[in-house]
Chain A
């Protein structure tokens, strides 16, 4: 679980160029981390790549915070 969280946070830092300590589990990609809607599409793609999961569009729309991403991946990732 913590491994998933660390990997998610690393992706967020790399894609959005934000300080690691700002990427808390409650942080909203758009409201707190400066992402726009296209950045969130890119983040979802990066999560799919990293964890080998498919995140359908309706599920992606509900991934608004770091915690949402970690939760989806933990529940759906194969490995």
Chain B
């Protein structure tokens, strides 16, 4: 099998819209949780979210005009706009914006989403109800479809290799990277833009997740304290939005052109809980098997893995089940491990989470620092003996990293990466 490395990074998040700004904010323990501004949330049980702030691109803001055409912006949902921009950052970072036609035949896209164009489906439904079918936008369908990030990005950069989009709820981003890495390993492509995006902060999205009892509702007046994975006071996740995209490249090709190589993708695991649509398996068996599969593929042992970026959404049940699975897998090596949830800072990016968090894993290795779990004031009893990096970033040796993402439907994905 061919080796696959990461040679470009891009992200749009509630804490900024370029990799270095976001990472600096993560390491500075900043939170992107704020009162919802996208719509009037007065009557909602959850009135907070981690929104991407539109602006001129400076500080924590995102300027869609930088990489997304005016007409495209008008026609598509926010998740596609975030995805196009993150993909653009990544391909620019990799230095691959001027590939030859031959190279572009072998370069593709695998950028997924969990939900897709929910805000646009919601608003256009209201147009249909109020004004009838002849007022529905001709751009409605292709402006909402999940695979239209990959579609738009392929058109923008002329990428004619595999054009794919993963939909596995909150593990979409991680599955997209894992699947794309396999396409390169199996010689279907040499370069893949891979990742995930989400933009579902809208009345229907917040109401739907609230009714599923998934969102935090107890910290509406103190939003930065709401996302608190592993803490006894946690009461649900805070919805985030944004996108993460990496450039995956076949190792020999990357080496030959002198590319900057961030990391090698060495392990990928996938599993299903076969248990419940929203609740994780009570013994964390799916999470365990996903991690075990990735570990086996990587050829590493648990002693080699220094940092885990947890799924850790801040829900009462999920956090401890994942922790239990990690405890079971790592055994005596747990004492060496640092594990944190960056969802404490940027919220839960759903289909974008696994991609953005994989990038955090790569940066943790680059800078030899574990990002913090914010708000971990009073850890649950299950956390004893695990370094969850409370409150502040922790400099430490990081040789290899593991990223977990789990989704509704009982779907699990794990990626393992190491330096080259």
| A42 surroundings in chain B (CB, below 8 A) | 137-139
| A38 surroundings in chain B (CB, below 8 A) | 138-139
- Cβ-Cβ contact count across A and B, 8 Å cutoff: 22
Query: 1/0 per position for A21-48, CB-CB distance to B under 8 A?
Result: 0000000000000100011011001001
The verdict on A52 contacting chain B, using a C-beta distance below 8 Å, is no
Cα separation A39 to B138 with both chains bound (whole Å): 8
A17–B70 contact, CB under 8 A? yes
The verdict on B74 contacting chain A, using a C-beta distance below 8 Å, is yes
The verdict on A49 contacting chain B, using a C-beta distance below 8 Å, is yes
Q: Which residue of B lies closest to A14 (CB)?
A: B74
Query: 1/0 per position for B130-141, CB-CB distance to A under 8 A?
Result: 000011011100
For the complex formed, measure the closest distance between the CB of A20 and the CB atoms of chain B, giving whole angstroms.
14
- Name the interface size band of chain B: under 10
Cα separation A49 to B139 with both chains bound (whole Å): 17
| A45 surroundings in chain B (CB, below 8 A) | 134-135, 137-138
For the complex formed, measure the closest distance between the CB of B251 and the CB atoms of chain A, giving whole angstroms.
40
For the complex formed, measure the closest distance between the CB of B372 and the CB atoms of chain A, giving whole angstroms.
42
Interface of chain A: mostly helix, strand, loop or mixed: helix
The verdict on A16 contacting chain B, using a C-beta distance below 8 Å, is yes
| B70 surroundings in chain A (CB, below 8 A) | 17
Cα separation A41 to B70 with both chains bound (whole Å): 18
The verdict on A10 contacting chain B, using a C-beta distance below 8 Å, is no
A39–B71 contact, CB under 8 A? yes
Q: With A38-B139, A42-B139 as known contacts, state yes or no: A16 contacts B134, CB within 8 Å.
A: no
B74–A49 contact, CB under 8 A? no
For the complex formed, measure the closest distance between the CB of A12 and the CB atoms of chain B, giving whole angstroms.
12
Cα separation A45 to B133 with both chains bound (whole Å): 11
Closest 5 CB pairs of A and B: A17-B70, A41-B138, A38-B138, A17-B71, A42-B138
